[in-house]
């Protein structure tokens, strides 16, 4: 079990990629704080896990004091922190010229951008205090590296996550801290699964396997990145997009 003895804080841990990663980390031997804005759902998730392997933490990642408290709650429960997975986020969007900044910009930035910054800062301070190093993994997106439909604010926030990751890796290396960003493509989370079959089929066609990625597949990569086996992966973006960023679209070749 490659995460044996490690303690992780996973935000957005009550559903989707977060919950799949919680389960994977525990299967790999870690103790986990399941952090989510919905504390009830976080506790429900913990109740399904092996006794003593996880604790539930309510957190609004857009509030720094709550993120600090989540880090402290993890340390209080398990004695230390080794990994933070800044995964909590919100999605949605509309055409730029239809934006109401109070609805379509600021909430996205507060959660998807500020929330990651707060996680990096709070965990980084804890890692320095412990003197034992640590790993920071943050969820960006394919949209953080390219323009896309209805994603003006979302893309900006996810691009910031990539920049945060590079800078954190540079500044925190002296304390033995690694920082990595992941860029999921089309993942079968509750957010996407609510859409029509037609739209989900379109999403699937944008990836090389012509299928949606499962949350568990992302969790497998995150567990590897958190492990000592990934010690040379630092300050980089790991694409977990099944080739979404490698091609534009499939088409029938004309006859020459």
Q: How far is CA 188 from the centre of its chain?
A: 14
3-state secondary structure 5-69: CCEEEEECCCCHHHHHHHHHHHHCCCEEEEEECCHHHHHHHHHCCCCCCEEEEECCCCCHHHHHH
Helix (H) / strand (E) element for 223: namely helix 215-226
CA dihedral 189, 83, 55, 74 (to 10 degrees): -140
Cα separation, 161 vs 46, whole angstroms: 28
Radius of gyration of the chain (CA): 18
- Total residue count of the chain as it appears in this document: 256
Find the catalytic residue in 105, 118, 154, 244.
154
Cα separation, 124 vs 179, whole angstroms: 10
154 is catalytic: yes
Picking from 146, 138, 142, 143, the residue whose alpha carbon sits closest to that of residue 169 is 138
- Count Cα neighbours of 218 within 13 Å in the Cβ-side half-sphere: 30
Helix (H) / strand (E) element for 192: namely helix 190-193
Active-site residues: which are they?
154
């Amino acid at each position: 079990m490659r995460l044996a003895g490690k303690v992780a804080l996973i935000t957005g841990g009550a559903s989707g990629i977060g919950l799949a990663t919680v389960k994977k980390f525990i299967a790999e031997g870690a103790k986990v704080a399941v952090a989510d804005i919905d504390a009830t759902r976080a506790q429900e998730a913990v109740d399904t896990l092996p006794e003593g392997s996880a604790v539930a933490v309510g957190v609004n990642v857009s509030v720094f004091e709550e993120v600090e408290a989540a880090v402290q709650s993890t340390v209080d429960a398990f004695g230390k922190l080794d990994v933070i997975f800044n995964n909590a986020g919100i999605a949605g969007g509309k055409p730029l010229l239809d934006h109401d900044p109070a609805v379509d910009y600021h909430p996205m930035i507060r959660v998807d951008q500020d929330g990651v910054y707060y996680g990096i800062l709070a965990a980084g301070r804890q890692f320095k205090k412990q003197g034992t190093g640590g790993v920071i993994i943050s969820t960006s997106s394919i949209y953080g590296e390219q323009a896309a439909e209805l994603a003006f604010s979302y893309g900006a926030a996810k691009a910031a996550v990539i920049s945060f990751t590079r800078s954190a890796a540079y500044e925190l290396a002296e304390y033995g801290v690694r920082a990595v960003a992941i860029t999921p493509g089309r993942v079968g989370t509750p957010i996407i699964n609510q859409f029509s079959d037609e739209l989900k089929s379109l999403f699937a066609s944008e990836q090389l396997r012509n299928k949606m990625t499962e949350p568990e597949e992302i969790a497998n990569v995150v567990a590897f990145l958190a492990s000592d086996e990934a010690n040379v992966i630092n300050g980089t973006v790991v694409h977990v997009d099944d080739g979404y960023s490698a091609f534009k679209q499939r088409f029938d070749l004309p006859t020459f």
